[in-house]
Every structure is written in C-alpha cells, then in structure tokens.
C-alpha cells in the first residue's frame, strides 16, 4: 500500500520524548539528538489547530509542511475525564509537544479536512506530476543488485509476474519497513553469515545485527464500564454515518510511575464509548486479536453501559525480538519473534502501569457514574486474587498484543554495532541506505508514525548534502 502503515494506523501524532533522541545520539549517532530532530518534525508538519498555534508551545510547530495535523474538539464528552486525572495527581497538558512531556493531553491526529494524512496522500499526491517521480505499484522488491560491494540497482517482481532490474544513477534507498528491510538485506547477502548460509544465500557481507534488535510496544487492553445508559447505544451508528471523522472521542496520557520523572513509562489511550460499543468488539477481536471468550465477556459487561476502551502501552521495553528468513524465496513471509516480556522487568513494569491506571476508578467522577474495571474472567488467572499485583502480571501476560510499532531491525550505531551509520548508509557496502523505522536504535516513547516521517525528512537532507546539493536550514 502506498504510504505503508500510515494508511491504516490510528493517526495519533506523537513525536516521543526528548530523552529518546538524546539517547540515540549518546549511543554514537551524531546529529540525532532532540534539538536536531525537532527541526525535521517541524519541517514536515502543517499544524492547523488555532489553540496550539496561539499557545505556549507554538514555537515547536510549523504551518507550512506537507503533513496536516489537527485536533478534534471533544471537550464536551472528555472534560470530566481530564478533571478526574487531575484529581488523581496527573498534569493536564494542552499539547504533549512542549517542554513538559508527561501528563494527560488533548491528542493531535494526522488528518485534515476530513482526509487521512497518510504519507502517500500528504507527500506524494502534491508532487505526483514531477517528471523525476515514477512509482511502480503492486511491485515487489526481491533483492538489491551489487557490483562487488557497491549497490547499483534492485531486482523487482512486476504485477504480471515478470522479474526485472531497475538501476540507480547514484544510490539505492530501502524504505521497506522494519519487517521487510532486513529481509531485503538478507536476501541480498547482507546479514548474519550462519543464517544466510543455512538458507543457501551467498554471503556478500557478514552483518550480524541485521534482523536483530526488534522492539515493539506491548499493549494490554483494559475496559472501564461506566454509567448505565442503554439509550446511548444509538451513538454507535455515528461511526457509519461520519466516515470522514474519527469514530470516537479520545483521551491520551503519557504517564511516569515516578511522578518526578521527566519521561513517561506508559501510554494510556482511552476511547470514549456509548453502551454496547462496537469499537470495543472490533478492537478486541480484530485489532488486538484476543480470544472470542474474552471479547464476549467484554461485550456482555458493557451491553447497557457507557465505557472506556483503554490501550495500555509499555513505552520503553527492555525486551527484544528478531526477524529471520524462512527461506530464500522473496515471496515467503519472514519469521517474527516479538520477544515480548523476554526481559522479566517488562512484565513487572506493565503490571505496575495497569495498577497505576486502575486507581482512576476511585476518583469523584468515576465513582459518581459507578465505574469499575471489567473482569474478563481469564481462565489462566483464576488462581490469583483479582486486582493484586500477581493478578495484573497474569492479566498482562494473557492479554498482551502488539500496538503495531515494530522498529530497530536495521539499527544505526557505531562500527561493529550498527547495521547502518548515522547517515543511514549500510555499513560495509557503498551506494545503499535504509530509511524507515528499522533504523531506530531504540523505540520512541509514543506512536512511531511521526518519528518515522521525521527520519525520512532528515534522510532527504543527508542525501542532498552527500551529493553536493544545498539544503534549507
């Protein structure tokens, strides 16, 4: 799909924390600190929200970029929730993209004028008539073509089944994503030598960290049942009537378990739902793919009650997975090892995060509407007392899913560590770069769409500079 996952995501625009990018730089990646990357976040952005543009964080935004970013006004339905979070000791931020990056905030989204701002729509559509732009649709890149160790082109599979070769005048850039970019490198002979050999692929370059360092945001679904109001069920129809807007009001928070901390440990995204929520069923069964018995428990509990569907995300996991080839066939899907909770500290941290969030039901507003966490009666957790730390550990282990934020499998880093260098050039060969979420050495604390777009903006400037073209500063 043109635009990749930006054409199918939930469109939440979050850049991550200052500490994320300063950490990238401290790992040996010069030029990727917060003060540097902020320029590229701003460069791509076309902020539309007047309150932000006239507020104290206006200097962190731009109105001239390609990517439309706006903020729906849901205050009538969400203000009591923000008051409850404030009562519970959390900051309420008008904009998460200011100097303060911990608290509950009014989220911004990548849509504009009722249209999703996928990268295809935002960046490609305005320049589709440029004579130097040509897009091969429904075409699969099979491998990179090398002359010795210089990348000179790409072998592709065309829609009709013909295999063809496309050659580069200057360099080849892989932007196939965290799953497919390492696959392409390995199919081209760049990767862990033993793994390539066992798949009968000639080793062009032994690069042991290709496909390693896979990181993702582990997500656990929580349901808060609230006011009994069966009449509100009719509001479920709004999602079908207003297909050009976001289906539900959303509240978001980046929360530190230590309230003095300047960076968050978990993200809570709350979908504000009427009785008999259809969104809950869709998210449970389709988005996170939980067992039908769990989804049925949720549906029964909220059939006549308003609810909050809460995505609880561990923002900075220590666990890592990897990508491996099944075989040398480019059409074969890779093997994905998520690595969730392979570091036991992550399970502890995720359980603590759920416990921390759950205290919201003790606030004045939540008590007034009779709110309670929905017990989904997990068979695997029946021997634990509901609501204890051990129960929430069991709950997280049995409810965990991906937030679809994989990164890191072609990570940049110093010689001997990074698959690519700080200018995203593949180490050990020439004429080849990678520019997508796979180059992140560590996952950012937040949704990864905006950081990936920032990476592309920065890559464009580095390519220009490396080929003697001046850039705007």
Long-range contacts of 329-333 (CB under 8 A, 24+ apart): 330/140, 330/141, 330/142, 330/143, 330/157, 330/183, 330/187, 331/140, 331/157
Question: What pLDDT does residue 235 have?
Answer: 85
b/e per residue, 31-42, with b = 16+ CB within 10 A? ebbbeebbebbb
- Cα maximum dimension of the chain: 71
- Alpha carbon separation from 165 to 143, 156, 261, 319 (Å, rounded): 10, 6, 52, 39
Question: What pLDDT does residue 242 have?
Answer: 67
Alpha-carbon distance 415 to 22, whole Å? 19
350 marked as binding residue: no
**Residue 1 in this model has a pLDDT that exceeds 90:** no
Report the range of poorest mean pLDDT among 56-65, 241-250, 279-288, 441-450.
Answer: 241-250
Question: What pLDDT does residue 472 have?
Answer: 79
> In this predicted model, what pLDDT tens digit does every residue of 198-229 receive, in sequence order?
999 999 999 999 999 999 999 999 999 999 99
In sequence order, what are the residues at sequence separation of 6 or more whose Cβ sits closer than 8 angstroms to the Cβ of residue 24? 32, 33, 412, 440, 441, 442
Alpha-carbon distance 301 to 467, whole Å? 61
Q: Which CATH number fits domain 75-90+218-314+341-399: 3.30.410, 3.30.450, 3.80.10, 2.60.40?
A: 3.30.410
Q: For the chain, what's the residue count?
A: 473
Confidence category of residue 137, pLDDT binned at 50, 70, 90: very high
* The CA-based dihedral angle spanning residues 121, 123, 125, 131, taken in that order and rounded to the nearest 10 degrees: -160
In sequence order, what are the residues at sequence separation of 6 or more whose Cβ sits closer than 8 angstroms to the Cβ of residue 144? 151, 153, 154, 155, 172, 174, 184, 185, 188, 432
74 marked as binding residue: no
Question: What pLDDT does residue 231 have?
Answer: 82
Confidence category of residue 247, pLDDT binned at 50, 70, 90: confident
- Alpha carbon separation from 422 to 22, 211, 291, 307, 445 (Å, rounded): 14, 18, 43, 46, 21
Alpha-carbon distance 135 to 79, whole Å? 45
Tokens standing for residue 153: 């082109």
**Residue 152 in this model has a pLDDT that exceeds 70:** yes
DSSP string, 247-282: SS-EEEEEE-SSTT-SS-SEEEEEEEE-TT-HHHHH
- Alpha carbon separation from 73 to 117, 246, 253, 458 (Å, rounded): 18, 11, 17, 32
Question: Given the structure tokens 């499998």, which residue do they identify?
Answer: 409
Q: 3-class DSSP state for residue 465?
A: helix
Contact present, 192 and 178 (Cβ < 8 Å): no
Give pTM, 2 decimals. Answer: 0.96
> In this predicted model, what pLDDT tens digit does every residue of 336-348 receive, in sequence order?
999 999 999 999 9
Question: What pLDDT does residue 237 have?
Answer: 80
**Residue 57 in this model has a pLDDT that exceeds 90:** yes
- Alpha carbon separation from 99 to 34, 51, 231, 445, 450 (Å, rounded): 11, 17, 42, 15, 18
As annotated, the active-site residues are: 405
Average pLDDT score over residue span 384-401: 97
Contact present, 178 and 185 (Cβ < 8 Å): no
Contact present, 221 and 312 (Cβ < 8 Å): yes
């Amino acid at each position: 799909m043109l635009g990749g996952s930006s054409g199918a995501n939930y469109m939440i625009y979050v850049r991550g924390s200052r500490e994320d990018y300063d950490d990238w730089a401290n790992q040996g990646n010069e030029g990727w600190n917060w003060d540097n990357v902020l320029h590229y976040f701003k460069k791509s952005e076309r902020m539309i929200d007047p309150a932000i543009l006239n507020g104290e964080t206006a200097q962190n935004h731009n109105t001239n970029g390609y990517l439309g970013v706006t903020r729906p006004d849901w205050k009538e339905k969400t203000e009591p929730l923000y008051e409850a979070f404030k009562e519970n000791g959390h900051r309420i931020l008008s904009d998460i993209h200011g100097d303060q990056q911990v608290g509950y905030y009014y989220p911004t989204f990548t849509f504009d004028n009722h249209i999703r701002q996928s990268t295809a729509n935002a960046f490609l559509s305005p320049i589709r008539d440029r004579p130097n732009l040509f897009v091969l649709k429904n075409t699969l890149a099979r491998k990179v073509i090398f002359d010795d160790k210089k990348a000179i082109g790409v072998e592709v599979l065309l829609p009709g089944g013909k295999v063809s070769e496309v050659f580069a005048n200057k360099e080849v850039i892989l932007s196939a994503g965290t799953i497919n970019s390492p696959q392409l490198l390995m199919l081209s002979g760049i990767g862990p030598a033993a793994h390539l050999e066992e798949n009968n692929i000639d080793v062009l370059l032994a690069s042991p960290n290709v496909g390693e360092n896979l990181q993702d945001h582990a997500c656990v679904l929580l349901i808060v049942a609230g006011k009994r109001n069966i009449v509100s069920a009719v509001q479920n129809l709004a999602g079908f009537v207003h297909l050009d807007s976001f289906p539900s009001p959303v509240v978001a928070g980046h929360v530190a378990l230590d309230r003095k901390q300047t960076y968050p440990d978990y993200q809570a995204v709350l979908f504000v739902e009427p009785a008999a929520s259809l969104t809950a069923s869709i998210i449970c069964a389709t988005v996170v793919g939980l067992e039908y018995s769990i989804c049925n428990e949720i549906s029964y509990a909220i059939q006549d009650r308003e609810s909050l569907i809460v995505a609880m995300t561990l923002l900075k996991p220590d666990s890592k997975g990897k990508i491996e080839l099944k075989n040398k066939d480019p059409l074969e899907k890779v093997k994905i090892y998520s690595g969730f909770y392979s570091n036991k500290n992550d399970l502890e941290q995720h359980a603590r995060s759920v416990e921390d969030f759950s205290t919201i039901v003790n606030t004045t507003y939540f008590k007034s509407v009779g709110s309670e966490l929905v017990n989904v009666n997990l068979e695997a957790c029946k021997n634990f007392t509901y609501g204890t730390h051990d129960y929430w550990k069991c709950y997280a282990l049995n409810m965990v899913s991906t937030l679809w934020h994989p990164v890191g499998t072609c990570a940049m880093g110093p010689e001997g560590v990074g698959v690519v260098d700080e200018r995203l050039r593949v180490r050990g060969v020439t004429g080849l770069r990678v520019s997508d979420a796979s180059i992140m050495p560590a996952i950012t604390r937040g949704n990864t769409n905006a950081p990936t777009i920032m990476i592309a903006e920065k890559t464009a400037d580095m390519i220009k500079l490396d080929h003697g073209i001046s850039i705007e500063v």
